[in-house]
Amino acid sequence: MKNILLIGLMAVMSSSYADDVSAGRAKADVACALCHGPNGVATLPNAPNLAGQQAFYVSEQLKSYRSGQRQNAVMGVIAKPLTDAEISQLAAWYSAIKVTVELP
Ligand code: HEC
């Protein structure tokens, strides 16, 4: 009984995570990809890569831009209208991108 409940809970959790990732991707394609790249690897020299970034870090930065605690002319404007749910989705999307690292 306990196991069935646990499996049910895990299924619910993973499906909502998958939903967040795909909602985040759809939002990022429209609002972020121009600078941060469609795959999270930046296309502008002054924009950071977001692919594989920790979800916690991405959402903390977006909330800081939104509140004005972290100041940047571009990101301040972009983060202003984002809801907490949208921030979670965007963070889920960028953190779900798998990156590999190669040392020089
Ligand atoms: C017009 C270009 C542009 C667009 C569009 C854009 N960004 Fe950015 N983003 C930047 C730049 C430039 C920075 C670096 C700002 C700074 O120095 O603080 C940045 C920084 C960030 C950071 C901080 C990364 C770090 O390493 O600290 C996050 C997170 C981020 N952007 C997320 C997003 C998301 C999510 C979207 C879409 C909703 C988005 N950005 C749209 C240009 C852009």
| Each residue's pLDDT tens digit, 5-46 | 555 555 556 679 999 999 999 999 999 999 999 999 999 999
* Beta carbon of 35 within 6 Å of any ligand 1 atom: yes
CA-nearest residue for atom 5, ligand 1, is 32
Q: How confident is the model at residue 89 (pLDDT cuts 50, 70, 90)?
A: very high
* Beta carbon of 42 within 6 Å of any ligand 1 atom: no
Closest ligand 1 atom, residue 33 Cα: 5
Q: What is the dihedral of CA 6, 94, 75, 64, to 10 degrees?
A: 40
CA-nearest residue for atom 6, ligand 1, is 32
pLDDT > 90 fraction of the chain, expressed in percent and rounded: 86
**Residue 103 pLDDT exceeds 60:** yes
Q: What is the pLDDT of residue 79?
A: 98
What span, in angstroms and rounded, lies between the C-alpha atoms of 76 and 65?
Answer: 5
Side-chain-side CA neighbours of 30 within 13 Å: the count stands at: 7
What span, in angstroms and rounded, lies between the C-alpha atoms of 39 and 49?
Answer: 9
**Residue 98 pLDDT exceeds 70:** yes
